[in-house]
């Protein structure tokens, strides 16, 4: 299903795992890293950033999307990897939360791609297109 080369896939997974170490997660202790891969080969990472006002916390994927937008990306999103776990140790497979699916979808729809989402766990990596995680997504075209 994945159009990624094995090398790209391994690099993306390593970047997501590496980004876990930059998480600011003193309240949940659940550290998450996300890595976005663009068609031009650029990779952008994000980590969850929590807040003492808990509800303001930002997920790793959302932080990565914001960083990518700020760097000028408007589409071309071909793959995403997400890793996380309590204390930075991977456990269950981490799938993007609902809000993050929507954030990723905006970036994907701008370039009409359907990125592979690599959801990393301690014992397996589940790989599926974003359209499976968020079918019939609301997006920029809905507003036309
Ligand atoms: N979190 C993410 O960073 N990404 C997700 O897709 C799900 C949850 C973060 C939010 C919070 O800082 C911690 O994980 C526990 O929910």
Domains of the chain and CATH, by start: 6-137 (3.40.140.10)
- Interatomic CA distance for residues 37 and 57, integer angstroms: 24
Q: How far is the CA of 144 from the centre of ligand 1 (A)?
A: 32
Helix pair 60-70, 98-110: axis angle to 10 deg: 20
Q: How far is the CA of 55 from the centre of ligand 1 (A)?
A: 11
C-beta pairs of 8-12 under 8 Å, 24+ apart in sequence? 8/37, 8/79, 9/79, 9/118, 11/43, 12/37, 12/43, 12/79, 12/80, 12/81, 12/118
pTM (whole model) above 0.85: yes
- Quote the pLDDT of residue 1: 41
Q: What is the pLDDT of residues 26-46, one digit of tens each?
A: 999 999 999 999 999 999 999
Q: What value does the mean pLDDT of the chain take?
A: 97
- Quote the pLDDT of residue 95: 98
> Quick one: how many helices (H) and strands (E) in the chain?
4, 5
Q: What is the pLDDT of residues 5-19, one digit of tens each?
A: 999 999 999 999 999
Region 98-108: mean pLDDT is 98
**Residue of 39, 48, 40, 42 lying closest to 19 (CA atoms):** 48
Q: Token pair 């939360």 is at which residue?
A: 97
What is the atom index within ligand 1 of the atom nearest the CA of 57?
A: 12
Region 91-97: mean pLDDT is 97
Give residue 3's pLDDT band: very low, low, confident or very high (50, 70, 90). Answer: confident
């Amino acid at each position: 299903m994945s159009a990624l080369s094995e090398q790209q896939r391994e690099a993306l997974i390593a970047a997501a795992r590496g980004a876990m170490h930059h998480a600011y997660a003193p309240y949940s202790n659940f550290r998450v890293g996300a890595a976005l891969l663009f068609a031009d080969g650029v990779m952008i990472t994000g980590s969850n950033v929590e807040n003492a006002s808990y509800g303001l916390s930002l997920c790793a994927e959302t932080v990565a999307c914001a960083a990518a937008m700020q760097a000028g990306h408007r589409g071309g999103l071909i793959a995403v990897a997400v890793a996380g776990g309590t204390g930075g140790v991977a456990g269950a497979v981490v799938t993007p939360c609902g809000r993050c699916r929507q954030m990723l979808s905006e970036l994907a729809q701008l370039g009409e791609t359907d990125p592979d989402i690599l959801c990393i766990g301690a014992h397996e990596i589940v790989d599926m297109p974003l359209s499976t995680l968020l079918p019939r997504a609301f997006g920029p075209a809905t507003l036309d």
